Structure 1
Amino acid sequence: MPVPADYQRASDQFYQYLVDARDIAGLWSTHVTYTMTQAVFQVFRRRLSTKDAIAFANVLPICLRALFVTDWDPDEPIKPFDSFEAMAEEVKSLRSEHNFSTETAIRDVARALRRHVDEEAFDRLLAKLPEGAMEFWTP
């Protein structure tokens, strides 16, 4: 069996996501966008069980899937979904000295991410996750 196309083109697809997210957020660098995306993923992941987090990761493109699980502490207590303002502050806490995430980082990442996933599969999965998951990923 040949290597699946998703793996062959993973880096290009990841960079295209970073460019889309950068432009949506009005940021100046894909490096800054990387940190913003990682922070948004961590904030979301903290609100899921391990089983739900793995299911979510499986609907992401390869490199975004890897970023979603990077630096994961599976023993971290599950948090409830909170206000977007509170979760935006949590986003900004990742590498706070070098984090230039926007106030709308969660929405910005959601808009960009939806351009790079199968939206039907993504929404089907979100509907199965805890209350607040679908709203989190609504642009």
Structure 2
Amino acid sequence: MPIPMELQHASDDFERFLADARDGSGLATRNQTYTMVEGVLRSFRRRLAVQQALDFADALPPILRAIFVSRWDVSEPVLPFADRATLTREVQGLRQHHNFAPDTCLADVARALRRYVDAETFDRVLATLPDGAADFWRA
């Protein structure tokens, strides 16, 4: 079996995603953008049970999938979805002194991410997740 195309082009696709997220958020560097993206993914992951998170991860491009599950303590309690202001502060709390995520970070990452996922698959998975999941990814 040949290597799947999504894996063959994973780095290039990730760089394009980071550029889109950077431009959409007004951040200056890919490092700032990476921290914002990681914060958004971690914040979302905290609100899913393990199987739900794995189902969601399968809808992501390969490198974002890896970031989503990286350094995951599955023994942490699952949190309820919160209002956008609370979620935004949570994202901005990751590496707090090196985090430049704007107040629009959730929508900025969602907008960029939706350009790199299969929309039908992504929305189908979101529909199986707890209330608040689909709203989290509203751009």
State the partner residue of 1:107.
107
Matched, 1:4 2:1: no
Matched, 1:127 2:127: yes
Report the CA distance between 1:3 and its aligned residue.
0.9
Measured in 2, the distance between the counterparts of 1:4 and 1:51 equals: 24
Report the CA distance between 1:51 and its aligned residue.
0.3
Measured in 2, the distance between the counterparts of 1:94 and 1:68 equals: 14
State the partner residue of 2:43.
43
Measured in 2, the distance between the counterparts of 1:76 and 1:41 equals: 16
Unpaired segments ≥5 residues, structure 1: none
Measured in 2, the distance between the counterparts of 1:101 and 1:76 equals: 24
Measured in 1, the distance between the counterparts of 2:3 and 2:125 equals: 26
Measured in 1, the distance between the counterparts of 2:52 and 2:128 equals: 9
State the partner residue of 2:66.
66
Structure 1's consecutive aligned runs of 4 or more residues displaced over 4 angstroms after TM superposition are none
Report the CA distance between 1:50 and its aligned residue.
0.2
Matched, 1:14 2:24: no
Unpaired segments ≥5 residues, structure 2: none
- Superposition map of 1:24-35 within 5 A: 24-35=24-35
TM-score (norm 2): 0.98
State the partner residue of 1:76.
76
Identity across matched positions, percent: 51
Number of aligned residues: 139
